Every structure is written in structure tokens, then in C-alpha cells.
Chains A and B, each alone.
Chain A
């Protein structure tokens, strides 16, 4: 495999996965170029630059040993909490929530950074729980301790969407860590049983929101507008789409948030079912690679971290795509790597960097054998 004229650091990179990531980023550039009415400004260029910089950052992260992340997980955690507190004090308000921190040269969203950090912390915790203890209560309550402060701080912003993703991610990680199955089945059933009761306690406008999710056509100009226009965009695209730069829903601004949360609909309008399925398939390949890394990992920390990080990426994609197709309520979650916006891309790139680091460890071990 190794040829003498390519340095090991380069040839050892997971090129197939990098190709997938670059293809997704390029799809984003094309979508944003079209969304701006066939112009590189204001989105496409910025997106391309960010993508390159963050991919570079991911490759740098990949050079660290996985063990390093294990060792520094709690430092990162402490740093993350500090940033969250700072955000509450000095943060910039955007979209009704105080979730942005202005650092002069860049604006970051510390709650996003917290996602991979929490995965690392939990992975490290479960790596240290002795196998005999895993079915005990002592394997559960510390999770609440780790999760408590960041969740509390993020809810104060308030950012319900990020909180939900972190909780989902944590539950998935606990499932992988080997906690008894009945816990998940039992609480799942309990939540399902409680839903009608919870619904009856909801305020009228909250009930209305649920009803709109269940029947979006009932108010296509009001609360259901986003979803309605998104479905029109996807549906009118048909199999092969209206053609690049020919989307009417996006170019005439009927599709809201077409450069961020609804970029998938904008792309599907122009590239059709074919284009949309290619995107879904690319994401599937990326996730399959992540889960593959997790399955091959050599120790418990790396296994759990790799799976947790892959799931972090997965939840982004799943919630966004379900949302634009009307399978989930409209919550503001972008499509990673494709949507315009730095924070989600940074988070995903950090996840990918860590995954590559673990992957490198896997392969090195393989070669030693």
C-alpha cells in the first residue's frame, strides 16, 4: 500500500471518508451559490473558506493521540462550562436566545462545543466504570452530575433544541455503554404513556403547535408556512429537479431560511429526488464510516467516544432532514457541512477530527499486528 513518495501522514488519512466530506461541503457551496441568486456572495465564498479552515482544524486534531483526548476531557469540560457562563454574561442575543459569544475575530456558540466535550467526558467515565458495576445505580447518577451544569446553563440561554440533542446523545451513549436494556424500554414506555397526559396539560398555543406538526396543511400561511413551502420546494422539484439556478421557491424567497435550515429543500428543488438521495447517501456513508471506526476501536474509551461522536453528527442530520420533509416539528437545526453557518460545521469537524484520531490509532494497531 505505502509508496515511497507519499509521506505516511498523508497516505494514512481516511481518504474515502474525506472525499465524502468534501463532496458534502461542495454541495453546500453549490446550494449557497444558487440560493444567493447565482452569486458567490454573500454565502458561498464564506462557506468554502470556513469549510477549508475547519477541515484543516480537523486534520490537526487527527494528529493527536486519542489518549490525549481521554486525558484532557475534564479540562475541556471545565473550559466549556466557563465559556457557557461567559456567554450568559457577555453573550450576544440572536434569534431570541443569548447563545453567541463574540470573541472579536470569531463568533462561537459554546453550547455547540459542549456536544463533543460531553461525549468525551461520558466515554471516559464509562471507560473507568468496572464491568461489574455497570448495572448498578452508581453507573447512572454521575451522568446526571456531568450533564447537570451544562444543561442548566444552556436552558438559561434558552436553547431547547441543543439541550434536546445533548440529552438524546447521552441516552444513546448510555445504551452503548451497556446499561440494562429494561431501563431504556421501561422509560420509553413510561414516556409514551405520559404523552396524552402531558398533552392535556399543555397550553392552548402549545397544543396548536403539536396539531400543526401532525397536520401542517391546516395553516399554510401561518405556523405551517416554513414546512409547507419546504414541501412545495421538494415536491415541485420532481425526480430530476428544475435545474441548477432555476429554483423558483428559493430564488423568489418563498422558501424561508433557504441558506441555513432549509438548504436541503433548496437543493432538492433544483437537483430533484436524485440530488436529494445523493446527499442522503453521502451522509449515510459518513455515518457508516464513523460506526465502523467505533466497532474497530481498541479500547473502551475510544469505542464509546467514536460511537458517541458519530451519533452527534447523526442527530443533526436526522432532525434536520426529518424537519424539512415534515416528519419532525420545525426546530432550528442546520444540516451539517451543507448549511451556511459556522457553529454546527465547527462541531461536526471537531467530531470528525476526533474520529480520525481514533481511526489512526486503529490502523496503527492493525499495522503492528
Chain B
């Protein structure tokens, strides 16, 4: 086994071995020291530049400062949408750890209601990691500070001082102005993933003018170089580039009038449009009921959303632009213009025996008016006159005049959408039939179609803005275009019709309110100022038997419409009012129009009248909205059983 003899080990040789081996280990220590020094030199000298960069990028962070959004002001500069300094808390889902614990802690710190907690959890589930989810806005400083202090234990939570949008008039401007909100995934991707859109606290317009004027209102973000710790805590600001706030946007709207109109609508479902009939400026564009745009800013809870979307009065719909109605008798001033254009003498008389016989079909009038000329036919809203004369003039001339006065027209205003309805004509019917034969019985235009069109029924549907434009164009004789943004425009051209025509129609409309007409009860109670108007009652469903849409379930009742202008001697303002299922123009719409026009001439008087109404209705707009929300939640809780009733009632 052993190839060579075992070396003899003595004490001396052992000392020698030890010395030699100790020298080896000592040398190894020296070598290692040199290696370490060399390695350190390599990192600190050769790679110094790279590591210095890395150290700087650790230390310094760029932070975007969201620009302050431009104000929206009314024609007199009164603010409609402003920015409020605000303490807020967001969650950045990407940095969130231990979601349940953190939400529980925030709930305790900020006293979040259960409804909000549900919303936050839902949004966290849907959010794409980088998108901040708002937790709470408009916090009192104490709560904000409570979160800031505990920040190290709350990874992913971002408390922030920023600005939030505030609409002092609340629901009254909801449909007109829209609202802002945190950008969603699609909006973020559409803007090329701009980092601004995922900066906490940054909002973009989601509806209405806030959306259409987004680029102008947004402004330019600022930037800040800050020194931060590893946990993201700010140590100090290094340099700051101030943001450039968005430009203020002046509207043509009169904020006071807008709010008055919205409040005057009360609990009715409807709209009020007021135009300056010399320029086309929209002074008010109110639609009720509405939502509170302020509650959309920090994300809306599911309950709130459900309440709004399930309401049969459709608070989410802008009825002034998107509500379509048969105009009924409010169509007649336009038809009268067409009759005059067709050469019919306004003095020519038609006997009204309570209707009009066309072949074997009898077209009803609302009464037996006897002999009628244009003036009295407008005043009494006699259908027979318009059946007979409309038939004589023919659809082509009526349709052309309708289009000239604004029906079927889509106006050039910065809104998200407007439904422009139908001004029917023979070619339109043919085209419509070809597209969808099921909707219409036959392709050719019939005389009964003409008769229906003459009284604003049948195929005709219009929106309230178009009604106001018609009224304004007849009142001033100018080809006004509605306008929402205050700017310099050339004055509108006069319409190519003789003055006598306008005078004849305006005279009829004067008679409606101030003479023996349908809206005599709504005469303006102002010295020297009179208004002219036309009532309308539009059927929601076909007349069945004696039930004429004047009773029964709310949603089957007739719509009440009213168009008007004032003062009659020198027209300045035009207005349309639509009260859905209000049962009649004279009964529901004309009184609203009267008060709205009164506001334009005598504010205290109008406000006094409104105060009386609001007392009857049970509080101001905001108070009633709150009460309604409470009732809704209580009803919902009762439906679900007793379990969640107390929490819902707390809200």
C-alpha cells in the first residue's frame, strides 16, 4: 500500500511546518487585502461614472405637478367651475402591499363609509396597476395629517395636497358643464400613456363642456425635481418648474339665470333653454333632474350611480339637447311662416267644426272654434285651420321652412352629443322606408302625413334647443346660430322673409299670452313688458278612447311644451320650456317660462316667486336631492331586508 516511507515528524520539524504554513496563510491574508483594495478601486474609479449616475437616479425623482384647470365662467365672469385647494389620499395599486390591512386602516383613519369602501375595493380590482385610485378628497387637515404620519406603514398610499374641481351651483349646471374624473385606462392609452394622466390628483373632463374644452382647460403641467428616500418620502425640493394653469373659459351662459331655471323646474322632469335672439348666445340650458357634478369628481359610489341610472326621470340625460319630443302645437308658428311663404293670406278664414275631414278619416281639433284666421288660429291653437292650410301649402314648403328655422339641425356648439330629431319630408320618408320598411307603412308621402306634420305630430321630433332657436329666429327675424362659448362673431344675417310675415306670426303669439289665447294665465306681470308664446301638448302614446293622456300613470301622460320670446315690441330673449309628462303646455310649461323671463327683467320678483314654490316643494334643490337620496337608500335597504338598513340610513 504505502509507496514511500512515512516522513519522520519531530517537534522541530513540526515548528518548521507551522512556520511555513503560517507564512502561507499570512501571505494569503495580504493577497486578499490587495485584491479587496483593487476591487474597490475598480468599482470606485473605473465604474465611478456609472455608479454616480445610479446614485443620482436613486436620489432624485421627477415629479409632475398637475396643472390647475382653467375656470369656467359665465358671461359676466361669475365662476361656474372653480378649483378648490384640497387634501386628498390616493392608492397606487402597483405599490400596494397587504391590501386588506391598508384599506382597513384607512377606513379607520378617514372614517370612510361602507359605501365608499366598496367603491375603492371595486376600483382597485379594475384598476391597471399604475392608475391611482382616489380614496378620499376634500379631507380636513387633521385626517390628512393622520395618514401622512403613518405613511411608512402604508405602502402604496399617497396623500397629496392638490386642487379639486368645484361647481358652486351643483346640479343646476350638471348637464351643461359636465364633470371631471380620474382618467381611465382607455383615456390613458389614447394620449400615448402620458405620465400626466396617472399623476395622482389629475382629472380630465368626462362630460359636457369639461370634456369638449379639455385641451383649453387643461393647461401645462409643471415639474419638480425632488430628493426622496428609498421609501419615497420627500426630503427636499431641488428645482421647480411651475405649472401653467388652463385658460379660463367664458361661456355665453348667465349663471344666475341657469341656476334659476334649474331651480324653477322643481321636481319636474324637463328642460329650459333661453337664447339671446339677437346673437344666438345661449343664456341658459337647464335640464332637470340632474346629478351633482361635485359628487362625480372623487368617483361615484355604486349606490349613487344606481340611484341615478334607475330613476325614471333620467337625471343622467341632458334633456335640452338629447331629449326628443313631438313639438305638438309649438310647431305652429313655424307652420304659419310656411303658410305665409306659400302665399296664403293671413286673413283667410277656415271654419272649425271640431275637426277636418280628409277622405274617410276625421282629424280632430281640440274644440269647435268656428271661423278662424291665422291670428286666432295661433291664439286658440286651432288644429283645423292648420290641417286645412297645411294641406293647401303642401309638405315641401313646410319642410323647407322647418329646416330654415332650425328643426332637424345639428348646431355647432361644443357639446358631447345632441340628438337632432327629424324634420320630415317626402324624400325623407322614402329613404326611411327603404332603410327599414318595418317602421313605416308606405314609402310615399300622403296627405294625412302632411296634416299630422302641420300640427307638430306624426314623424316630427325635435329637441328643446331647436324649439328655442325657432322661437328666436321668428322673434328677431335673424338667422341666429346658438352659441355657447363667448367670442366675437359676425352679427347674424336677417332671414329672407318679408317683415309682414314675421309680424303676422308674432301677432298670433302675442295673442296666445296677452289676448284670448291658451296661455293667458302666464302673462308677464311686468310694466311695459309683454311676451309672445305658443303652448304645445304632445301625445306620448296614441289616443285610446276618452283617455287623452291627461290622467293615468306618469309616464303615459302628455308632454307640456311652451316656446316664447320677450319683449314683444322689441324681441330680445327667446325661450323654450319642455315639461315631460306635464299634461299640457299652458298648464305645466308656460308658468315656468313666465318666471324665467321675469328673472331676466326683474330678479327680485322672480326670486320671490321661486322662494314660494320651493317652500311648497319642501326645500331647495340641494336639500330635496339629499332627501331623495335618503329615501332611495331606505327603500333599497328595506328591499334587501333588515341587515344593512342601519348603515344605509346613516348615509
Contact = CB atoms under 8 A, between A and B. Distances in A.
B21 A175 contact: yes
Interface in A130-167: 131-132, 134-135
Contact of A307 (B25, B58, B231): B25
B55 A249 contact: yes
B9 interface: yes
B48 A252 contact: no
B18 interface: yes
Given A234-B51, A238-B44, A325-B39, A294 B9 contact: no
Given A176-B18, A236-B52, A280-B36, A231 B235 contact: no
Interface string B40-73: 1101110110111011101100000000000000
Interface string B228-257: 111100010000000000000000000000
Interface in A231-277: 231-239, 248-249, 252-254, 268, 272-273, 276-277
Interface size for chain A: under 10, 10 to 19, 20 to 34, or 35 or more residues? 35 or more
A172 B44 contact: no
Contacts of A249: 55, 58
A254 B44 contact: no
Interface string B176-204: 00000000000000000000000000000
A70 interface: no
B55 A132 contact: no
Nearest to A291: B26
Contact of B45 (A231, A239, A248): A239
A23 B406 CA distance: 94
Interface string B578-615: 00000000000000000000000000000000000000
Contacts of A304: 18
A36 interface: no
B98 interface: no
Interface size for chain B: under 10, 10 to 19, 20 to 34, or 35 or more residues? 35 or more
Given A232-B51, A235-B52, A252-B229, A291 B18 contact: no
B228 A252 contact: yes
A307 B33 contact: no
B236 to A, nearest CB: 11
B9 A135 contact: yes
Given A231-B43, A236-B51, A254-B230, A277 B25 contact: no
A280 B40 CA distance: 10
Interface stretch (A61-69, A103-111, A282-290, A338-346): A282-290
A246 B48 CA distance: 17
A178 interface: yes
A321 interface: yes
Contacts of A235: 43-44, 47-48, 50-52, 54-55
B298 interface: no
B10 A131 contact: yes
Interface in B19-40: 19, 21-23, 25-26, 29-30, 32-33, 35-37, 39-40
Contacts of A90: none
A90 B300 CA distance: 56
B55 A288 contact: no
A173 B48 CA distance: 40
A291 B22 contact: yes
A73 B634 CA distance: 83
A228 to B, nearest CB: 8
Contact of B25 (A252, A291, A322): A291
B22 A307 contact: yes
Contacts of B9: 131-132, 134-135, 178
Given A236-B48, A252-B59, A284 B30 contact: yes
B90 interface: no
Contact of B44 (A132, A276, A281, A318): A276
15 contacts: A176-B25, A178-B17, A236-B48, A236-B52, A236-B54, A236-B55, A248-B59, A273-B40, A273-B41, A284-B33, A295-B23, A300-B11, A325-B40, A327-B35, A327-B36
Given A234-B51, A280-B40, A303-B18, 13 more contacts: A132-B9, A135-B6, A177-B18, A178-B9, A231-B43, A232-B51, A235-B50, A236-B56, A238-B45, A272-B44, A276-B40, A280-B37, A321-B36
Interface of B: 6-11, 13-15, 17-19, 21-23, 25-26, 29-30, 32-33, 35-37, 39-41, 43-45, 47-48, 50-52, 54-56, 58-59, 227-231, 235
